[in-house]
Structure 1
């Protein structure tokens, strides 16, 4: 797959404390904020994703969110966009609201495999506030959408306050490490059918709905396998009535059946996210 390396395009929305307060009041009981809210810029009215659609941002105390609001920059995250390359300087962290980002390890041969996936439950760029500044992985937008970015300088300053932000980000990082470790175990010990089920479920947990826009070639790149293997595994799931697949669109028709068919790895990751992160944050 050919990845784009141009910068994420900034959006046009500007959020105020009144916007955020209204959004917090409007959050549904499940803990997921409404996906589209109205904001103003001058006399114009714009509709966009709220920062609170990212569950880490939604979990911030009001005082911390007040400091962050002027610093958060809305961005469009298009399919294939590279947010950072292996070993490269990372100027921003990204908080997806409706996009999914894959963290990939790329070999010298050019072959790649996904080590973790990040959606509206998390943040891309943990190496910045953990002190490393770079990482041997690549971050690529797997499913197009939107998000917010914060400069490396700003997130470091917040982390150094040693308050609720630091503890929240550390808990998220622990959950992310669990996902990476479980992915390695899954790729070594479980069948491609089970890996595909796990991958589909993790991706669905980071979207609103039961449909994924994914080609089999993209899935093969994520799993680090041949496309023919993904085709065969997807056909098995389709014949079992678990999914339907047509022209790059995967519809999950029987999620409980998919969960029953996957390996233990999905549940291990889900439980760890549920344990470490605030209620309402995706697994």
Structure 2
């Protein structure tokens, strides 16, 4: 487990870099805004920048013909885009775009490659995050195959809550349908179930979380395992 050394940053990975590794990457980190729907990675295209998020959420979305798009991963201030580069590739298999607006520190890929080549510790550390993200995406596949829609929705809301401040999420039913890989009427029914249980309040374009523990219970084991693995591999968030 890595302790936070660089507390002026909000991104959990940058916070935990050794002073030597921070010295390698810090000169090339540029703070930037992440507006809603901004494309961070385009599938089957060279990656130009790596984003270390400090606020907001990035969605990793797998695409199929006929608009059958589904979110397969979430990135917030606990992580980074561009994990393919850490593995030695230069392009992304999936799209990644901003789901909830925020901010990040951006780094050109050539500078990250240079830092990885100069350090014996940077790649092993970032690979631990790659493993944590892989665990998250593998559980997403399991949950999508085996859990009820309302359980999947509860898990997704909890994952978003982990990555944003406050208890309000600005999101439409249409976007939720993409995130969960279902039709919009299914999202409406699932939201009504959660609202009927007093777990959330759903307004137009906004969801307010009212009972986090209740959402965890409703998720019925779909939430917490990847989160625990992140703590084991990287450390406690916050």
User: Does 1:252 find its partner at 2:209?
Assistant: yes
Which residue of structure 2 lines up, in the alignment, with residue 217 of structure 1?
174
Which residue of structure 2 lines up, in the alignment, with residue 75 of structure 1?
32
Bigger CA radius of gyration = 1
Equivalent pair of 2:25/2:115 in contact (CA under 8 Å): no
Richer in helix (by share)? 2
Equivalent pair of 2:30/2:106 in contact (CA under 8 Å): yes
Which residue of structure 1 lines up, in the alignment, with residue 44 of structure 2?
87
Which residue of structure 2 lines up, in the alignment, with residue 262 of structure 1?
219
Measured against aligned partners, the alpha-carbon deviations of 1:216-260 in whole angstroms (never above 9, x if no partner) come to 111111111001101100011111110011121111110001111
Return 5+ residue gaps in structure 1 as ranges. Answer: 1-20, 25-49
- CA distance change for structure 1 residues 67 and 161 in 2, over 3 Å: closer, same or farther? closer
Find the aligned partners of 1:218 and 1:274 in 2 and give their Cα distance: 29
Q: Could you tell me which of 209, 228, 233 is aligned with 2:185? A: 228
Find the aligned partners of 2:235 and 2:226 in 1 and give their Cα distance: 15
SS at match of 2:163: coil
Which residue of structure 2 lines up, in the alignment, with residue 145 of structure 1?
102
Q: Which has the higher contact order (CA 8 A, sep 6+)?
A: 2
Measured against aligned partners, the alpha-carbon deviations of 1:20-61 in whole angstroms (never above 9, x if no partner) come to x9x73xxxxxxxxxxxxxxxxxxxxxxxxx5x1101011112
Which residue of structure 2 lines up, in the alignment, with residue 277 of structure 1?
234
User: TM-score w.r.t. structure 1 length?
Assistant: 0.79
RMSD: 1.5
Return 5+ residue gaps in structure 2 as ranges. Answer: none
Which range is displaced more, 153-162 or 168-177?
A: 153-162
User: Does 1:96 find its partner at 2:43?
Assistant: no
Which residue of structure 2 lines up, in the alignment, with residue 192 of structure 1?
149
TM-aligned CA deviation for residue 162 of structure 1 = 4.5
User: TM-score w.r.t. structure 2 length?
Assistant: 0.94
* Count of aligned residue pairs for this structure pair: 234
Question: Following superposition, which runs of at least 4 residues in structure 1 exceed 6 angstroms of deviation?
Answer: none
Measured against aligned partners, the alpha-carbon deviations of 1:71-109 in whole angstroms (never above 9, x if no partner) come to 001111111111121101101111110110000000022
